[in-house]
């Protein structure tokens, strides 16, 4: 057996449990490096590191003031050097196989949700990358999702400053055939790859809040921490 991420041979003999898993899992070292969480107190809503335990951090307060629709924000891993490298390879070097690695790390339970909505990528970006980095992971996981949103955005988020992101125009729109009646009272989770300022997912939630969802949560594969 070889590790899907570092390709080193995994020495352990297969156990009864591992026989039921994939042939190429992650070695323990990679799993630990890639599901890294900084120690410390967290915001009860977005899981940002905070000095003092709080229900809602100052980032959230600011965002809720403008975009009040998201309930909780979950993340698979904190953004560190290792995840930075993984995301770079996955998004910009177009190493599509890394969708498998992210899927293996994602122990999130989708069960409570009636609808799973990935953040879309623009047509320009999709042409360049050939896949949507978020829904590709859902495909590997076998999670059904609803592509309710389209986007006009083509500028890379990573090229924008924090100020530019927070003040950018909402780039999302509902796809034509999406009807509010179909989603009334449902529990939804929006999926994105990296949570930095939070602007992207909050703007997406703003658009889909018109669909009468009962609850909107967010899952990101990775979250930056500033402290
Ligand atoms: Zn490994
Ligand atoms: Zn927060």
pLDDT in tens, the chain (227 residues): 888 899 888 876 555 555 555 556 888 899 889 988 999 999 999 999 999 878 899 999 999 999 999 999 999 999 999 999 999 999 888 899 899 999 999 999 999 999 999 999 998 888 888 999 999 999 999 999 999 999 987 666 667 676 776 667 899 999 999 998 889 899 999 999 999 999 999 999 999 999 989 999 999 999 999 86
Q: How far is the CA of 218 from the centre of ligand 1 (A)?
A: 28
The ligand with the least distance to the CA atom of 74 is 2
Q: What are phi and psi of 165, to 5 degrees?
A: -65, -45
The ligand with the least distance to the CA atom of 218 is 2
Q: pLDDT at position 15, please?
A: 59
The ligand with the least distance to the CA atom of 53 is 2
Q: How far is the CA of 127 from the centre of ligand 2 (A)?
A: 34
Task: Pick the closest to residue 135 from 115, 155, 123, 121 (CA basis).
Answer: 121
Q: How far is the CA of 97 from the centre of ligand 2 (A)?
A: 32
Q: How far is the CA of 105 from the centre of ligand 2 (A)?
A: 23
Q: How far is the CA of 74 from the centre of ligand 2 (A)?
A: 11
Q: pLDDT at position 157, please?
A: 62
Tokens found for residue 197: 């300022």
Q: pLDDT at position 24, please?
A: 60
Q: How far is the CA of 225 from the centre of ligand 1 (A)?
A: 24
Task: Pick the closest to residue 143 from 119, 123, 114 (CA basis).
Answer: 114
Q: How far is the CA of 2 from the centre of ligand 1 (A)?
A: 8
Q: How far is the CA of 6 from the centre of ligand 1 (A)?
A: 4
The ligand with the least distance to the CA atom of 1 is 1
The ligand with the least distance to the CA atom of 70 is 2
Buried b or exposed e, range 59-93, using 16+ CB within 10 angstroms: bbeebeeebebbeebebbbbbbebbeebbeebbee
Q: How far is the CA of 109 from the centre of ligand 2 (A)?
A: 21
Q: How far is the CA of 125 from the centre of ligand 2 (A)?
A: 29
The ligand with the least distance to the CA atom of 202 is 2
Tokens found for residue 221: 């594969």
Q: pLDDT at position 39, please?
A: 93
pTM of the model: 0.89
Task: Pick the closest to residue 174 from 225, 135, 139, 209 (CA basis).
Answer: 209
Q: pLDDT at position 168, please?
A: 73
Q: pLDDT at position 42, please?
A: 94
């Amino acid at each position: 057996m070889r590790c899907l991420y570092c390709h080193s041979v995994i020495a352990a003999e297969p156990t009864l449990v591992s026989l039921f898993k994939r042939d190429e899992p992650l070695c323990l070292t990679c799993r630990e490096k890639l599901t890294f969480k900084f120690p410390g107190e967290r915001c009860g809503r977005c899981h940002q590191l905070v000095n003092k335990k709080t229900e809602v951090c100052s980032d959230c307060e600011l965002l809720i003031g403008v975009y009040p629709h998201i309930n909780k924000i979950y993340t698979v891993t904190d953004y560190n050097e290792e995840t930075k490298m993984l995301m770079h390879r996955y998004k910009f070097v177009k190493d599509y196989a890394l969708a498998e690695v992210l899927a293996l790390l994602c122990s999130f339970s989708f069960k409570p949700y009636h609808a799973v909505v990935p953040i879309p990528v623009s047509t320009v970006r999709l042409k360049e990358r050939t896949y949507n980095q978020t829904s590709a992971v859902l495909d590997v996981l076998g999670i059904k999702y609803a592509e309710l949103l389209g986007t006009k955005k083509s500028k890379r988020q990573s090229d924008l400053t924090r100020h530019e992101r927070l003040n950018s125009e909402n780039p999302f729109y509902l796809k034509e055939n999406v009807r509010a009646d179909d989603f009334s009272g449902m529990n939804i989770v929006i999926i994105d790859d990296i949570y930095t300022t939070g602007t992207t997912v909050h703007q997406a939630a703003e658009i889909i809040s018109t669909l009468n969802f009962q609850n909107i949560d967010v899952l990101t594969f990775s979250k930056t921490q500033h402290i």
